[in-house]
Chains A and B, each alone.
Chain A
Amino acid sequence: MKKLSTLLAATAIATLMAGSAWSKTLVYCSEASPEGFDPGLYTGGQTFDASSRTVYNRLVEFKHGGTELEPGLAESWEVSADGTEYTFKLRPGVKFQTTEYFTPTRELNADDVIFSFERQYKADNPWNKYVAGASWEYFAGMGFPDLIQSITKVDDLTVKFKLKQAEAPFLANLGMDFASIMSKEYADKLAADGKMELLNQQPLGTGPFTFVAYQTDAAIRYKANPDYWAGKEKIDDLVFAITTDAAIRAQKLKAGECHIMAYPNAADVAELKKDENLTILEQEGLNVSYLAYNTLVAPFDKAEVRKALNMAVNKQAIVDAVFQGAATVAKNPIPPTMWSYNDKIEDDKYDPAAAKKMLEDAGVKDLKMKIWAMPVARPYMLNARRAAELMQADLAAIGVTVEIVSYEWAEYLKLSSAKDRDGAAILGWTGDNGDPDNFLDTLLGCDAVGGNNRAQWCNKEFDDLMTKAKATADVAERTKFYEEAQVIFKKEAPWNTIDHSLVFVPMNKKVTGFVMDPLGIHRFNGVDIAE
């Protein structure tokens, strides 16, 4: 039996090698179908993997495997002293991809950059509503409509962004997927032909891979861009085999039907590790899961009550039960892989006896509270109900009665934001751009109360630090502000920080050059397959 299957496998490989169309092809088992191919319109990671990280580039790029920035389509940039003007020098000689549906006649210039951004916020731009119900989620989410005053062309290879106020994370935001640079020439051609919707179906950019075809819900095909400004990739073809079930993705990887797979089930990791043909990369994800108290409602408005409740919960037990070890206990609201993570902070010690006493000292007796458990699995929290049950048992030990409640996901997201929410809610966050501001201010700033700030926590001291950190581009200085902010956070305990989960990328041992990305992106430039 084994011999037969080995023979079959050998024949299959030989056939693959023989076919010239099947030269050096990397197959990636992706987790879902892309929503479309215009990264500005969407928020899904699978969409970004399939569009912005393959077909497109941005002015600045995140370093492979990190969150630091490096030059992308902009060779260099200057920031004005007051932090409101960013001038980018574009890389000369960058060619757009030549595809079956379009042959570019000119190289990248400032018009492309202006087009890529203006379509996302200028209501009178014909591309602003080029598909029904187009909404530029990330552009709006990162506050760009209120931030950008103007984008102007200085010369063909120089673009100037004028901001309404200084915003240090602006540069990191430009490395995000929605800021991908599109070809204006291609867009103009589509508009002239009356086929604008094709911009979202047949992408064309400056990136390492040229789009070939999308077979709906089945596969996406790319070929290496021969004109890529950073040099042609080592692999010839790239195929995304869309495989929604994680267990099946694992089987496909084991059977050699793909080289790399996205997001394995935590339960399958051990089994995959045993396979001698595979190797598994792992990294702490840029995420956090938390239990947010409603600090506007008594008795959770008292820091000592929140602190006592934190001390009563055995977080290690939650990580063990829910993640089977594939996560670490969180002590700060930002993950350890992020710059400015304050490692000097000590977590609240698990000590039920002390917790009980603290609660009594605060004058709280027979506390009854609700814990909200999310109905879905997210990368940072695989099973919120199980986590809530463990918290319920821990809190019962100090005399707190917990009722677990849950709602349908969209409803949960909405209701958990309400200022008068009854109970503490489990939720989490995955970073967008590697900037601490994207966690600390987005989730805990005063402006976010009634929105992303599920603890409804507004602390002036903390908020001032956020403002100061935004106003300077000096990373060392910003680090100091953020480190201090984490100290205040720990003292005030608006959340019980639960975990940072690990992210795994299992792949065939023949694959070289694949680097895990803390932003959860799957990038294939620089990847090769050993013969």
Chain B
Amino acid sequence: MLRFIFGRLAVLIPTFIGVSIIAFSFIRLLPGDPVMLMSGERVMSPERHAQIMTDLGLDRPIYIQYFDYLVNLLHGDFGSSIVTKRAVLTDFMQLFPATIELSLCAIILAVALGVPAGVLAAVKRGTWLDQTLMGTALVGYSMPIFWWGLLLVIFFSGYLGWTPVSGRISLMYFFPQVTGFMLIDSLISGQAGAFKSAVTYLILPTIVLATIPLAVIARQTRSAMLEVLGEDYVRTARSKGLSPFRVIGVHALRNALIPVITTIGLQVGVLLAGAILTETIFSWPGIGKWMVDSVFKRDYQVVQGGLMLIAAVIMIVNLIVDVLYGFINPRIRH
């Protein structure tokens, strides 16, 4: 098992270097530079432009900039934002918990609803229930997140007044950020009603962000279940007279879950991509919104640093999924 884990870890190194090259060059390929955008409509003289580019070290040959960047990265220095002048890592650490909190809630919701829906659709294959569930999943999968989010806000927050519109917690609560996870911090704060407020603010963004993964998981579970349900060992289990619940829940589902877990792991990337839009709609102070703003401002340091950190997180999650996979299915290890 240890060898398997080390093997997986070794693959990460070239991937990490590859990502650093892409992260570094991607933002620089876009036309325009951050200094030009600083002054907006007011034209900056070429001399001043050149001076600021020099101050920021952006006038050096690109490969020197890259190697400098790489050396700094190895020292754990992700640089400072060109715009806000704050350290990229500090901002990331402050904003990332918000994204994780939202993503975790979304994936839990997606799994909690998606797996049972998929199982149900597979068991009731071809019935109206199957068609309804899969039809809904298809609609969910095709829904443009921005539109869907706005629709929910207008209906639930605007019309019914059940949920707050946007933010992480009511502004009347103010306490220091200890873990960065609002649900935990609000509990620690001891302020009455804070936790409840944090939960209500999580509802709509969680639903919006969970929609696509939920649809994917439901469809994947259904097809995996259908395959497994036709296997001999399931028929054997049934003929032994086991209860349908035991046959489906233990014999079939456990095996059907292998591809589903892979799918869930892959959804992490989808979640982070979805987080960009979800965070923008719900003014959720996470890294998605932060990255988008930075791309528009050509804040090279934030974009490349942010991409590296996000890539690192996705790689680690994929590694964990691989290891889990190895646990569930010992054949994979060899």
Contact = CB atoms under 8 A, between A and B. Distances in A.
A5 B164 CA distance: 12
A291 to B, nearest CB: 15
A244 B289 contact: yes
Main secondary structure, interface of A, reads mixed
Contacts of B281: 245, 248
B174 A218 contact: no
Interface residues on A, range: 35 or more
A254 B86 contact: no
Interface stretch (A313-321, A405-413, A457-465): A405-413
A22 B172 contact: yes
B40 A255 contact: no
A410 B293 contact: no
Interface stretch (B5-13, B64-72, B77-85): B77-85
User: Which 10 A-B pairs rank lowest in CB-CB distance, beginning with the nearest?
Assistant: A410-B32, A5-B161, A217-B285, A131-B85, A218-B285, A451-B43, A410-B36, A133-B56, A411-B31, A408-B31
Contacts of B45: 451
Interface string A114-158: 000000000000000101111101001100000000000000000
A347 interface: no
Given A131-B85, A133-B56, A407-B31, A248 B160 contact: no
Interface of B: 30-33, 35-45, 48, 52, 55-56, 80, 82-86, 91, 94-95, 150, 153-154, 157-158, 160-162, 164-168, 171-172, 174, 177, 193, 280-283, 285-286, 289-290, 293, 298
Nearest to A6: B161
A173 B98 CA distance: 41
A215 B48 CA distance: 33
A133 B48 CA distance: 12
Contacts of A408: 30-32
Contacts of B86: 36, 201
Interface string A1-21: 100111011000001100101
Given A27-B171, A141-B39, A200-B85, A247 B32 contact: no
Nearest to A36: B84
Q: Which of B33, B95, B153 has the most CB of A within 10 A?
A: B153
Contact of B42 (A21, A25, A141, A247): A141
Given A43-B42, A132-B80, A216-B95, 10 more contacts: A43-B40, A135-B35, A135-B38, A135-B48, A140-B44, A215-B285, A242-B283, A248-B281, A411-B31, A451-B45
A16 B172 contact: yes
A428 interface: yes
B203 to A, nearest CB: 14
B31 A247 contact: no
Contact of B43 (A257, A378, A413): A413
Interface of A: 1, 4-6, 8-9, 15-16, 19, 21-22, 25, 27, 32-33, 35-36, 41, 43, 129, 131-135, 137, 140-141, 197, 200-201, 213, 215-219, 221, 239, 241-245, 247-248, 251-252, 254-255, 257, 378, 407-411, 413-414, 417, 427-430, 442, 448, 451-452
Nearest to A450: B43
Contacts of B36: 410, 413-414
Given A248-B281, A248-B283, A257-B167, A427 B174 contact: no
A221 B95 contact: no
A241 B166 CA distance: 9
Contacts of B40: 43, 413
A430 B41 CA distance: 9
Contacts of A247: 150
Nearest to A212: B174
Given A36-B84, A252-B166, A245 B280 contact: yes
Contacts of A430: 41
Contacts of A411: 31-32
Nearest to A38: B85
A9 B157 CA distance: 11
A255 B165 contact: yes
A251 B280 CA distance: 14
Given A43-B38, A216-B94, A221 B174 contact: yes
A241 B43 contact: no
19 contacts: A8-B161, A16-B172, A21-B174, A216-B285, A217-B290, A218-B167, A239-B171, A241-B283, A244-B283, A245-B281, A251-B165, A254-B158, A255-B164, A257-B167, A409-B37, A410-B31, A411-B32, A417-B43, A428-B41
Nearest to A452: B43
A33 B280 CA distance: 12
Given A135-B38, A135-B55, A200-B85, A21 B165 contact: no
Contacts of A448: 43
A21 B84 contact: no
Contacts of B280: 244-245
Contacts of B166: 243, 248, 251-252, 257
Contacts of A219: 167, 171
A218 B84 contact: no
A3 B43 CA distance: 56
A526 B229 CA distance: 71
Contact of B172 (A21, A33, A129): A21
Contacts of A6: 161
B165 A257 contact: yes
Nearest to A248: B166
A289 B32 CA distance: 23
A184 B165 CA distance: 42
A126 to B, nearest CB: 16
A22 B82 CA distance: 36
A51 to B, nearest CB: 13
Contacts of B290: 217
A6 B35 CA distance: 50
A241 B167 contact: yes
Given A131-B85, A257-B165, A410-B32, A245 B160 contact: no
A260 B250 CA distance: 56
Contact of B85 (A5, A36, A242, A442): A36
Nearest to B296: A409
Contacts of A217: 95, 285-286, 289-290
Contacts of B38: 43, 135, 137
A241 B171 contact: yes
Contacts of A22: 172
B152 to A, nearest CB: 11
Contacts of B286: 217
A414 B37 CA distance: 10
Contact of B283 (A137, A218, A429): A218
Contacts of B154: 251
Contacts of A8: 161-162
A497 to B, nearest CB: 16
Contacts of A9: 161
B45 to A, nearest CB: 7
B43 A133 contact: no
Contacts of A452: 41-43
Contacts of A36: 84-86
Contacts of B35: 135
A428 B83 CA distance: 24
Contacts of A410: 31-33, 36-37, 298
A223 B119 CA distance: 55
A41 B85 CA distance: 10
B83 A35 contact: yes
B66 to A, nearest CB: 18
A364 to B, nearest CB: 30
Contact of A133 (B44, B52, B158, B171): B52
A200 B80 CA distance: 14
B161 A427 contact: no
